[in-house]
Amino acid sequence: MSAPTSTRTAKSVRRFDGGAVWLVVFAVLIGVAMLAGICLGRLSLAPTGVFDSIMSWARGAPIEALEERIVLLVRAPRVLIAALSGMGLAIAGAALQGLFRNPLVSPDILGITAGAAFGGALAILLGESNTVLIGSAFAFGVVALLLVGLISRVDGRSDTMTVVLAGVVVAAMFTAFVSLIQFVADPDSTLPAIVAWLMGSFASTTWFRVGVAAPPVLIGAAGLMLLRFRVNLLSLGEDEAKSFGIRVQRERWIIFLLVALIAGGVVSVSGIVGWVGLVIPHAARLLVGPDHRILIPASGLLGGAYLVAIDTIARNASAGEIPLGVLTAAVGAPIFAILLRRMYTAEARA
């Protein structure tokens, strides 16, 4: 082995080991964030009381005391869905940024979020139940992805740039449909409900909603975790990936489908939650490096902790709950600007 190759290998091993340490740090961070999310609220709870409530429930005792009802029926499902949503969106963002080799890509780029937003807004306009709203949002998110596939496919194949442009077109179309729904909605009842849902919130989370959102988010996140080495190869470019025996078209659309599962599952129960899939992979990349074997799980853990913390702030920062989408944008945009500036400054110095 030549000296330069040996040096690169040694650096790669050190970077991988350092990334493993950060994984432990992020795992502790998400645990602390979830515990704080359960403890903090209008009625503050002690960690010991939270553990006692959980252990009592685990032993099969009925949920009777006020503290137990708050922990197990109100805050626990909300914190869990926030963690799952943040984890899924961050993993999806990291995978897409590697696939497109573009740090400005997020799950919104495929039009899935806009499609799911239209599905949810349509269900609210028609006065349907929460179950129908969740199903409609998820279904239209998948429809958006199918439209992107149909539009971008030319002569039996679709390249990356065509997929991006198709996603922009589909997102614009569904965004226009959402605006039309808002225009015809009753301004005294339906319109406020649509606007509130589009701003994003975990306020009405129940164990039923957790059960609905968890399977697609977990399946999508687990699939991307299994494909993280292939994302490494795809991030080298189409020709290089093919030289390693990767079926680029097939792998790309598998990743798109997994991202659609995550985005559709999250939007269907929480509305629009932006910036997580864009900002968190950047922050993780600065700490653990560009190797997706570490970057994707690190982004997931950090994203889960971040969104739980944001949701906890949204619940406690004011008398009325701050819409989640507003807070993620207000916090995420400055953080993204700082991270972007640091990244390009480091590249310029290198």
Whole-number pLDDT of residue 20: 82
pLDDT in tens, 256-275: 889 888 988 898 888 888 88
Reference 157, options 37, 77, 59, 242; nearest CA is: 242
pLDDT given at position 6: 45
Give the tens place of pLDDT for each residue, 296-341. Answer: 999 999 999 999 999 999 998 877 788 888 888 888 888 778 877 7
End-to-end CA distance of the chain: 26
pLDDT score for 63: 79
Return the DSSP state at 321: P
Which pLDDT belongs to residue 8? 45
Using a pLDDT cut of 70, give the percent of the chain over it. 92
Query: For 231-263, how does the pLDDT look when each residue is reduced to its tens digit (9 = 90+)?
Result: 998 888 777 888 888 888 888 889 988 988 898
Q: Which of 252, 219, 280 is nearest to 89 (CA)?
A: 280
Which range (38-42, 101-105, 176-180) has the least confidence?
101-105
Cα→Cα distances 200→173, 195, 264, 267, Å: 20, 9, 13, 8
- pLDDT on residue 347: 65
Most confident range, picked from 27-31, 165-169, 327-331: 27-31
CA dihedral of residues 170, 171, 172, 173 (deg, nearest 10): 50
Q: What is the pLDDT of residues 78-90, one digit of tens each?
A: 999 999 999 999 9
Q: What domains sit in the chain, N to C, each tagged with a CATH number?
A: 3-349 (1.10.3470.10)
For position 270, what pLDDT does the model report?
86
Whole-number pLDDT of residue 1: 44
- Span 28-38, mean pLDDT? 96
Does the pLDDT of residue 12 top 70, yes or no?
no
CA-to-CA dists, residue 328 to 17, 178, 332, 333, angstroms: 31, 21, 5, 8
Identity of the amino acid at 293: R
**Among the listed residues 101, 160, 109, the one whose alpha carbon sits nearest the alpha carbon of residue 290:** 101
Q: What is the pLDDT of residue 350?
A: 62
Q: What is the pTM of this model?
A: 0.87
pLDDT tier for residue 22 given thresholds of 50, 70 and 90:
very high
**pLDDT at site 142:** 85
Task: Give pLDDT, residue 104.
Answer: 73
Please tell me the predicted confidence (pLDDT) of residue 200: 86
